[in-house]
């Protein structure tokens, strides 16, 4: 079987992780510009001031992407580049940059797939309470409209938010992302609700513009499985799926929050401050949401947490995805398992769980349209005689693409696959050490670029439309 002719083979990036030029051409300061400069917050205090300088080298980068044969490039727009103070004047030079980037993609027939929010919030909004303040919701809707109007003639695929669970939980529970707040459960849920409201309003506005493109949201896809057959662990996995999956997917796909969570939030006093109007906009916009983007790296293996009084001290190291933590409410715990395989950073590698999770999603939400908006291997790539021989990455992407192919054969409506990442870039908390790209960037030599073995391998897969996978 070949992948369907309208299936997009792509790769992804995010503004803060690639662009650099943090204070050029009128760009405002973002929360990450500030947060990454607090000593000890990131690996070796790395930050995105220069990153891989995509802002200045985008032409070279898009050309390399076209050499790989990418059909689509998923990138994000930096909000503070467009509206430096969050909700004030538009910065024309910011618009110019993305107009040029989009045009450069189109010149090579690469479909631009645009994320509006991949975590770099204008600092002025962060200082007013960030996503816990409804002013940020209004500001986002305004910013989204500016982007639809400026780029919507050429951009027909929009993602409102990237991974709400990550920026809200690391921002308000683990304190590992901006604004660096720890264990404030009430704020965490408020932030999530405000994001869903912002998403719903942006979807409505986009549809009203009649630009005839599609719009959706990207979520972490980390389905929870019980570590064994014990009833208490199965219940713990159910709980994990309610809080980390249903809470995020239901409002977007069904237009309402899951009862199981809503009831518990009421009991515990964690219910967000929400209005009838917001709930109704979430309800009515769900039907207009075109797709769901899934970022899949690993599943969660779950057991019941038996020492729920334990204080969970989250550090940078244990908050970036490796199993071993208790949930914020103390109900369950993710575990590392003897019989599973893990990356150097402790993330499980499981194309099987990916496939199982996709079937679970279909069983629960029916025939939704899906893009895999991120999937990839963080590794330290060997260089042999000048070539970047990232064989483990090829293996990783190959097995996960096979899972996608099998899922399509099962009738799951997957319309594209974006490897993370198009090019080596700044990992939020792991610096440049953890590489993901098809294109290598030499930090010791002028940020020179070179296509890796995985890039050439992907080129072949795209050319054959995955027939030999």
Q: What is the DSSP letter of 436?
A: -
Backbone phi, psi, residue 182, to 5° = -110, 140
* 123 is an interface residue for ligand BGP by CB under 6 A: no
160 makes contact with ligand BGP (CB under 6 A): no
Is 266 one of the annotated active-site residues of the chain?
A: no
- Of 18-26, 160-168, 190-198, 403-411, the window that binds ligand BGP (rule: CB under 6 A) is 160-168
Does position 430 interact with ligand BGP (CB under 6 A)? The reply is yes
Exposed e or buried b per residue across 320-343, where buried means at least 16 C-beta atoms within 10 angstroms of its C-beta = bbbbebbbbeebbbbbeeeebeeb
Measured distance CA(79)–CA(451) in Å, rounded: 30
**Is position 190 an interface residue for ligand BGP (rule: CB under 6 A)?**
no
How many CB atoms lie under 10 A from the CB of residue 70? 28
Binding to ligand BGP by residue 163, rule CB under 6 A?
A: yes
Pick the closer one to ligand BGP by CB: 129 or 346.
Answer: 346
Q: Please report which helix (H) or strand (E) contains residue 466, including its range.
A: none
CB of 1 to ligand BGP, least distance (A): 29
For residue 366, give the H/E element and its range. Answer: none
Closest CA to 373 of 297, 299, 293: 293
The single residue among 295, 300, 305, 334 that binds ligand BGP, judged by CB under 6 A, is 295
Question: Is 159 among the residues that bind ligand BGP (CB under 6 A)?
Answer: no
- Residue selected from 31, 115, 162, 319 as contacting ligand BGP according to rule CB under 6 A: 162
- The interface region with ligand BGP, picked from 101-109, 247-255, 352-360, 423-431 by CB under 6 A, is 423-431
- Answer yes or no whether residue 428 interacts with ligand BGP by CB under 6 A: yes
- Which residues lie below 8 Å from residue 259, measured CB to CB, with a gap of 6+? none
Which residue from 124, 320, 334, 375 is in contact with ligand BGP, where contact means CB under 6 A? Answer: 320
Among 374, 410, 464, 467, the one annotated catalytic: 374
Q: Which residues pair with 100 in a beta bridge?
A: none
- Residue 378 binding ligand BGP, by CB under 6 A: yes
CA distance 154 to 147: 11
Of the residues 53, 374, 379, 424, which one makes contact with ligand BGP according to CB under 6 A:
374
User: Is 374 annotated in the active site?
Assistant: yes
Q: Residue 297 CB, nearest distance to ligand BGP (Å)?
A: 7
Contact stretch for ligand BGP (CB under 6 A) within 67-75, 239-247, 354-362, 424-432:
424-432
Catalytic residue selected from 163, 277, 352, 356:
163
CA distance 160 to 164: 10
Nearest 5°: CA angle at 415, between 115 and 402? 110
Which position among 151, 161, 420, 457 is part of the footprint of ligand BGP (CB under 6 A)?
Answer: 420
Q: Parallel, antiparallel, or unpaired for β 224-226 and 214-220? A: unpaired
Site membership for ligand BGP, residue 46 (CB under 6 A): no
Taking alpha carbons only, the member of 180, 194, 253, 195 closest to residue 221 is 253
Residue 278 or residue 348: which is nearer to ligand BGP going by CB?
A: 348
- Residue 203 in 3-state DSSP? helix
When asked if residue 115 is in the footprint of ligand BGP (CB under 6 A), the reply is no
Q: Looking only at residues 3 through 32 of this chain, which bind ligand BGP when binding is defined by CB under 6 A?
A: 14, 17
Nearer to ligand BGP, 417 or 428 (CB): 428
> Rounded to whole angstroms, how far apart are CA atoms 363 and 259?
18
- Residue 327 has phi, psi (to 5 degrees) of -70, 160
Cβ neighbours, 10 Å, residue 370: 24
- The catalytic residues are 163, 374
Q: Which residues bind ligand BGP (CB under 6 A)?
A: 14, 17, 162-163, 166, 295, 320, 374, 378, 420, 427-430, 434
């Amino acid at each position: 079987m070949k992948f369907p002719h309208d299936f997009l083979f792509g790769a992804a990036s995010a503004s803060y992780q690639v662009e650099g030029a943090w204070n050029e051409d009128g760009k405002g300061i973002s929360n990450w510009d500030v947060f990454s400069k607090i000593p000890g917050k990131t690996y070796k205090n790395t930050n995105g001031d220069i990153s891989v300088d995509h802002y200045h080298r985008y032409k070279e980068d898009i050309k390399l992407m076209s050499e790989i044969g990418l059909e689509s490039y998923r990138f994000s727009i930096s909000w503070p580049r467009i509206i430096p103070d969050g909700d004030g004047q538009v910065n024309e030079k910011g618009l110019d940059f993305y107009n040029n980037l989009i045009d450069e993609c189109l010149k090579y027939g690469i479909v631009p797939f645009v994320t509006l929010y991949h975590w770099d919030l204008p600092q002025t909004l962060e200082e007013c309470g960030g996503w816990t303040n409804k002013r940020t919701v209004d500001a986002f809707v305004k910013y989204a409209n500016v982007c639809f109007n400026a780029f919507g003639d050429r951009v027909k695929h929009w993602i409102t938010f990237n991974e709400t669970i990550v920026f809200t939980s690391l921002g308000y529970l683990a304190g590992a992302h901006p604004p660096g707040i720890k264990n404030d459960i009430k704020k965490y849920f408020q932030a999530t609700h405000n994001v869903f409201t912002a998403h719903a309003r942006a979807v409505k506005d986009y549809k009203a513009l009649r630009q005839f493109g599609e719009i959706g949201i990207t979520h972490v896809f980390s389905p929870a499985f019980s570590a064994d057959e014990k009833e208490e662990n199965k219940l713990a996995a159910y709980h994990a799926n309610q809080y980390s999956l249903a809470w995020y997917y239901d409002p977007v796909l069904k237009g309402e929050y899951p009862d199981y969570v809503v009831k518990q939030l009421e009991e515990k006093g964690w219910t967000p401050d929400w209005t009838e109007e917001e709930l109704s906009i979430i309800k009515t916009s769900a039907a207009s949401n075109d797709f769901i983007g899934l970022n899949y790296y690993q599943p969660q293996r779950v057991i019941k947490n038996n020492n729920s009084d334990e204080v969970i001290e989250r550090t940078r190291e244990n908050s970036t995805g490796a199993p071993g933590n208790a949930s914020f409410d103390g109900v369950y715990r993710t575990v590392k398992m003897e019989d599973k395989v893990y990356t150097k950073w402790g993330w499980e590698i499981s194309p099987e769980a990916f496939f199982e999770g996709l079937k679970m999603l279909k069983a629960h939400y029916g025939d939704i349209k899906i893009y895999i908006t991120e999937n990839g291997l963080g590794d330290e790539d060997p260089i042999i005689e000048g070539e970047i021989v990232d064989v483990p990455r090829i293996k990783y992407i190959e097995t996960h693409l096979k899972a996608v192919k099998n899922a399509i054969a099962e009738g799951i409506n997957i319309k594209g696959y974006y490897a993370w990442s198009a090019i080596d870039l700044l990992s939020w908390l792991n610096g440049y050490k953890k590489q993901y790209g098809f294109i290598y960037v030499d930090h010791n030599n002028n940020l020179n670029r070179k296509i890796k073995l995985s890039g050439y391998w992907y080129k072949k897969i795209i050319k054959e439309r995955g027939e030999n996978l």
